[in-house]
Structure 1
Amino acid sequence: MRRQGWALGLALALACTPEETRRPDAGTEEDNTDVLNGASPFSRTVLDAAARELQPLALAVGPGDVVGVAYYSRVGDTADYELRFLEWKNGAASSPELIATVQRVSGVSVAYDSTGKAAVSYLGGGSDQSTYWFQSDLAVAYRNGPGSWTPRIPATKSNNAATGNALADSGFLVGLNPAIVFNGTKAYVAYRDGHNGQFGKQDWEGSDLELVEGGPTSWTPRMLAMSADTKSGYGGHISMVLGEGGLPALVHDQVSDGADARGHNVLFQRRKADGSWTTPLQVQTVSDTQLGASLAWDGQVGYGVAVVDRTSNKLTYTFSKDGVSWSAPDPVFQSGAGGWYPSLAFDPAHHEPHIAYYVCSNSASANEQGCDARVDELRVFALIENNWRDVLVDAGGGWGSKLAFLSTGKRVVAYRAPDSGVVKLAVEP
């Protein structure tokens, strides 16, 4: 019934959607943002108007449709960044909670366990005598209750996941760009091992993809993809989900130029029933993955991947039932500068892929610092009856968006205002 009534449902949503009037992001009557947002089926809310800079954020939906958002905000004109967390439910958001203060930002991930307890993974811990990496360990903070967090340090050295290879086992910088998921109360946390965090071939090209499982006080480390002598630069940007049989699966890219430089290619791995992991399988050849690919899983479809090739501004979607045989990449969007920062999620009722993405400019040559406030938008594409259909989320744009579904089938998108870093949430009413 929903498919036959798509147009009618959209029209009703447009007629009934309340509009958030506070607008700290780019967009005024001059660029028609407020008028366009009035015709969007999403309701937009500012979660943290004091958040600053375009730094990573993460989104998770927990039991009872509570939505958790973790993000960084710069503290004044200092070199400090606050890692913050807040929750949203039934139209109301909690006050931001401080998890940690850091000087080195390298990704963030949030997840809920089966009891509804939130955990956030990030680069934390101590410096290990480094003069630059003031934080150099994999950290996981567990939420005890509102405003109360307990940090844990599951990995501190490259040899925590020992291999016997001198290069792979050497270094102190672990925990870059982590990703966390739960199966029940057991956590899986994947991260990039950057070794000594300084040299190209030794550290970045030789980086490894590693994982710890367990928690909160007992962790088992595993090597998932070792670069070592191959100089593959594994684990650049990681996206992880629970897949078939409640076992984790992930995608990552290859980064050889730095801790968080642009990556290339999309590599897929999954945990097998015996506890071992598959070797990296190149799902797609991509010249520039921007902030990395997005992985999602659905019981009927299988695994899905959305990724943009920043060199061509081409956003594609591919899927696989078993994680071995993958469909040819389906071109979703390629117009001007856009398709950026894709986030993929499957509709739990209709098993259709939805992709949140950012449109920067009508000019394909526009860069991340030169988006057109008259044009930039945050949108969602959905594959409905074999046709890609898009809908406006925010005419003011949206950086680094994260998309998820509530149990009701409604979509939620967390993102940052492109000009200020303000954290926002868009929800289908």
Structure 2
Amino acid sequence: MSFMFRSVPRIVCEAGGIAKTGILMKELGASRVTIVCDPGIVKLGFAQKAQDALEAAGIAVQVFSEVEADPPQEIVEAAIAGVRDWKADGVIGLGGGSSLDSAKLVALLANSDQTIEEIYGVDKATGDRLPLIQIPTTAGTGSEVTWVSVITDNDHLKQVVYTPQLMPDIALLDAELTYGLPQKVTAATGLDAMVHAIEGYTSRTRKNPIADGMAVTALSLLGKNLMKVIENPGDKEARSAMLQGSLIAGMAFANASVAAIHGLAYPLGARFHIPHGHANALVMAQVIRFNLPAAKKLYAELAPCLIEGVDFDSEDAAAEAFVKRIEEMVPASGLETRLRDLGITEDSLPEMAEEVFTKIHRLIDSNPRDMTVKEIETIYREVY
């Protein structure tokens, strides 16, 4: 087996760790730092906490707080221009996946003559990025440990940048930043992280034993703690476990791949602005059920991550129990489970299926079971 495994150089996991942001950034040699976040992070006071820590270390701070969900290209370009004009020499991504994905591109392109369009795809970036620290405030995307950024281009299509320069210098996990998350955000991001672990483990492309081990560890942490944090948002131990599970799942899928769940979720975000984690949750159970004939052995291996203390008498029984557990968890999360309830029109289903099959086929290629455009549409209709 031949494979390459990339990892973030340093991970700091500490409740209240945002207070160390200035010390960590100073170690990276930065003296003028831009914080990339969304307006909600400012309202919660998290941006101010990071700013205070940076200024206490003698670092000048600029805050760009205009990030939107499924970040539009024009917003990312505005952030890049702001960082260049201010002559920042370091970047902090603070928030959910949209802020972290945006921060990676800002750190790279603010130090480059390339445009965003020129680096869409795989390994098209040149040069080095600015020093970068990623601080997630949700336990979901794992973006703090990947070299991938997903944004929405000017034609409202999802575009992906894969390049090693996007890997941050430091991922900082501070569970205190997740304590006050709304229930639906907790549920959506937690299920998103579970999808990362499951798709990384069952991927047909770049699957490898290191990523497999991480996927199993991540899914165990996530599966045992997601309902705990939904039912008891103040469970600090479970919150920390979710944040760690999300990071480990991010390392797993970044070194393997995601697949059809993400593929079917992308148009829901780009066209209808469904938050990414919720979009994954909408199609998660149906895609996993569809994949069962091809992924039975792998699902059976993952069953103990979600179902403790059960000795299954066959591979079939373990795999079926795994799928049923997923089918139970999605509605139990409290999220809407029907496309029609989220403003998605029935006449858009064939168009989205065609878009997935023709423009996001790389994710279908990673799926454990082949899919036709008709089968993709059928799954959309099952959740409509």
Say whether the fold is shared (TM-score over 0.5): no
TM-score (ref. length: structure 2): 0.29
Higher fraction of strand? 1
Higher fraction of helix? 2
TM-score (ref. length: structure 1): 0.27
